Amino acid sequence: MPVEWSGSSPELLLAVDRSDGRPLRVQLEQALRDAIRTGRLHIGERLPSSRELSRTLGLSRGLVQECYAQLQAEGYLVTRPGSATRVAAGATAAPAAPAGAPAAPPLLADFRWGVPDLRSFPFQDWLRAMREAARTMPTAALDYGDRRGNPVLRETMAGYLRRVRAAAADPEHLVVCNGYAQGLSLALRVLAAGGVRTVAYENPGSPATVTAAAARAGMSLVPVPVDDDGIDVRALAATGARAVVVTPAHQWPTGVVLAPERRLELTRWARERDGFVIEDDYDAEFRYDREPVGALQGLAPDRVVSIGTVSKSLAPALRLGWMLCPPALTAAVAEHKHLDDRGTPVLDQLALAGLVASGRFDRHLRRMRALYAARRAVLLAALAEHAPAVAVTGLAAGFHAVAHLPAGVTEHGVITAARARAVGLHGMSACHTAPTPAPARLVLGFGAVGERAIAEGIRAVGDLLRGD
Q: What does the pLDDT read at residue 327? A: 98
Q: Are 274 and 155 in the same domain?
A: yes
Q: Are 323 and 302 in the same domain?
A: yes
Residue 102: pLDDT band (50, 70, 90) is low
Flag the least confident range among 135-149, 176-190, 276-290, 359-373.
276-290
Q: What does the pLDDT read at residue 437? A: 66
CA dihedral 366, 371, 375, 377 (to 10 degrees): 50
Q: Are 155 and 188 in the same domain?
A: yes
Q: Classify residue 225 as left (phi > 0), alpha (psi -120 to 50) or beta.
A: beta
For residue 158, is pLDDT > 90?
yes
Flag the least confident range among 48-62, 170-184, 212-226.
48-62
Residue-wise pLDDT for 431-453, tens only, equals 998 877 668 999 999 999 999 99
Q: Are 337 and 423 in the same domain?
A: no
- Bridge partners (DSSP) listed for residue 206: none
386 within some domain? yes
For residue 3, is pLDDT > 60?
no
Q: Are 369 and 351 in the same domain?
A: no
102 within some domain? no
What share of the chain has pLDDT > 90, as a percent? 84
Residue 93: pLDDT band (50, 70, 90) is low
Q: Are 144 and 231 in the same domain?
A: yes
pTM: 0.87
195 within some domain? yes
Q: Are 279 and 166 in the same domain?
A: yes
Q: Are 71 and 136 in the same domain?
A: no
- Picking from 310, 278, 281, 329, the residue whose alpha carbon sits closest to that of residue 170 is 329
Q: What does the pLDDT read at residue 431? A: 94
Q: Are 352 and 402 in the same domain?
A: no
For residue 92, is pLDDT > 80?
no
Q: Give the CATH number for residue 307.
A: 3.40.640.10
Q: Are 215 and 306 in the same domain?
A: yes
Average pLDDT for 119-123: 97
345 within some domain? yes
Rounded to 5 degrees, what are φ and ψ at 307? -115, 125
- Contact criterion met (CB below 8 Å) for 110 and 424: yes
232 within some domain? yes
For the chain, how many structural domains are there in total?
3
Considering 312, 335, 358, which residue would you say is the last residue of a domain? 358
Q: What does the pLDDT read at residue 193? A: 97
Flag the least confident range among 3-17, 58-72, 75-89, 278-292.
3-17
Residue-wise pLDDT for 312-371, tens only, equals 999 999 999 999 999 999 999 999 999 999 999 999 999 999 999 999 999 999 999 999
For residue 226, is pLDDT > 70?
yes
Q: Are 323 and 367 in the same domain?
A: no
- Contact criterion met (CB below 8 Å) for 235 and 225: yes
**Domain span including residue 419:** 109-116+363-466
User: How far apart are alpha carbons 468 and 455 in whole angstroms?
Assistant: 19
Of these ranges, 60-64, 288-292, 394-398, the one predicted with the greatest mean pLDDT is 60-64
353 within some domain? yes
Residue-wise pLDDT for 393-436, tens only, equals 987 888 999 999 999 899 999 999 999 999 999 999 999 988 77
104 within some domain? no
Q: Are 353 and 376 in the same domain?
A: no
133 within some domain? yes
For residue 4, is pLDDT > 70?
no
What share of the chain has pLDDT > 70, as a percent? 95
